[in-house]
Structure 1
Amino acid sequence: MRLALLCGSSARSMYVANVLAATHDLACIVSEVGRDWSRARIRRNLRPRVFWSRFARACSPSRRRRRATEASILFGRQRPHWPSDVSLFRVRNVNDASVVTTLGECGVGGVAVFGTSLLRRAEFFSLRAAILNLHGGISPEYRGADGVFWAVHSQDWENIGGTVHFVTPRIDGGALVARYRPALKGGQSEAELVCAVLRGGAHLLSEAFARLERGEAFGVEQPHRGRLFQAHHRTRDAERRVRRVLADSTAQAIELPERVEWFVATKTVQRGSEAVEREVLACR
């Protein structure tokens, strides 16, 4: 299937891009390098609690170390890089009108989304293309930012994983396509868990497009709204708790196998708008 990727600019995004380029005809990559600074967003971010939480997060040495560790896990000794033979477009915001135009000109049958702002333009959903998002958390339980972090925070080991779902105007709320849970063993750091989820999730996303191209129908409505986590929820106190949890003897003794769920539609689902029966096709 001919694909386009809408993503961020991090090493995580570059890894997903390389997986899709190796397994599909990846026509273009649109990398979002800015933020959606609407008036409502500016007002929200100027609230004292949100502002200081974001400030501390941006200045945190642990955040920089974590990102460097993730890059080394995903790319080894290589510097994180985009696929060399795929057109790369950088935009301030993924909802720019030029993005929809680019997707139309590329003639793609599928659009992969990872790590961008919420898609708000109605024109995205008028494209004759399947739009799938790779979310770094288990939906609906951990929607939004830092899904792995919050699962560890809750000691919810069974729900450390990632989700592939259809994109809707609701954050990580579209019909489920597949969920991936990596093998867990004691002693893993947050960065190692995140990278394990990302590696499996990226290949799951690739497989989802391949199976859609073969005519398989996926998409099951999420059973409940779950909980939405945002970046400012990740406070220093929460980070200290996660470090304690990972160092605890209970976490050190955790052993869980890799698991994959596919959500097969009993009817054709159009971007999560039609209720269907859930069927778990496979777990491995």
Structure 2
Amino acid sequence: MARIAVVTVPSPQSWIIVNALVKFFGPVTIVAEERESKLTLIRRRMRRQGVITILGQIGFVLFQRLLAQKSRKRIGEIIAEYGIDPNPNAACEMIKVGSVNSDACRAALAKLAPDVVLVVGTRIIGKETLSSITVPVINFHSGINPKYRGQAGGYWALAMGDPDNAGVTVHLVDEGVDTGAVLYQARFKATPRDNFITYFFTQAAIARPLAITAVEDALAGRLKPVKVDLPSQQFYHPTLWFYLWTAWTKGVW
């Protein structure tokens, strides 16, 4: 049996993909990264983006709690429509590590000796961890690379008036932010009932066959990156005022 490791911060979206893998390949091993502390995240982003932008992003994060409550019905519709399972899978062994860049993570992966590693929603993987892995490392990204790298790529495509590039990418991992060679991409169509919260459920749903195919290709030694002729840009969380303005003026929630 193939040894598949999924490195992730467990979430409904990551379980949607993991459960699809389990259904196709059998149980996989989860290397579960702890979510980065909000204070650490705020400090790092403040150095890059400035105080005003960070305050706006904090406001948006708080607003997401209300948005999530209002999205429950639509999330249920997406789950039913795609037949996805966002619940933890007890059949999968889970190894908890503080960070993908920790000695504990590297030790866990060395002990597992997987044939392929799939990454879903972790912090950027550093050189030391990447160089310690001798098998293909594949990432699921919620956006079309390289045009919508970083966070919430599906939302940003819609907010920028570019719905044809609202989608997902499965790509090889390098030391950059979603800059690795592209393997597969797929697009989705948002409905007026969708918003920042529900996009991620649809994106995870359409990514399932891409992730399965990429893992199959890695196991068979036939990974073939494709060239994508798009400009490259990195995005972060929107500020609250940008989100509300875009929702009001463009109907993109």
Q: TM-score range by the shorter chain?
A: 0.7 to 0.9
Aligned to 1:187, what secondary structure does the other structure show? coil
Q: Across the two proteins, how many residue pairs are aligned to each other?
A: 246
Counterpart in 2 of 1:52?
55
Are positions 1:141 and 2:144 aligned together?
A: no
Q: Name the amino acid aligned to 2:22.
A: A
Q: Name the amino acid aligned to 2:68.
A: R
Matches within 5 A, 1:1-284: 1-35=2-36, 37=40, 41=44, 44=47, 47-60=50-63, 61-65=65-69, 68=72, 72-73=76-77, 75=79, 80-182=86-188, 184=189, 186-190=191-195, 191-220=197-226, 223=229, 226-231=232-237, 233-242=238-247, 244-246=249-251
Displacement, 1:181? 1.2
Displacement, 1:105? 1.1
Aligned equivalents of 1:131, 1:9: Cα separation in 2: 18
Aligned to 1:31, what secondary structure does the other structure show? strand
Residues 34-91 of structure 1: CA deviation (Å, up to 9, x unaligned): 2173897275289422431232123213343367467535656x99421111111233
Unaligned runs of 5+ in 2: none
Question: Which of the two has greater helix per residue?
Answer: 2
Unaligned runs of 5+ in 1: 248-284
Aligned equivalents of 1:46, 1:185: Cα separation in 2: 29
Q: Name the amino acid aligned to 1:59.
A: L
CA-atom RMSD in angstroms: 3.1
Aligned to 2:30, what secondary structure does the other structure show? strand
CA spacing shift, 1:42–1:172, aligned 2, 3 Å:
closer
The TM-score normalised by the length of structure 1 is 0.74
Aligned equivalents of 2:140, 2:185: Cα separation in 1: 10
Displacement, 1:217? 3.1
- Identical amino acids, percent of aligned pairs: 20
Say if 2:101 and 2:128, in contact at 8 Å, map to a contact too. Answer: no
Aligned equivalents of 2:85, 2:205: Cα separation in 1: 17
Q: Name the amino acid aligned to 2:242.
A: D
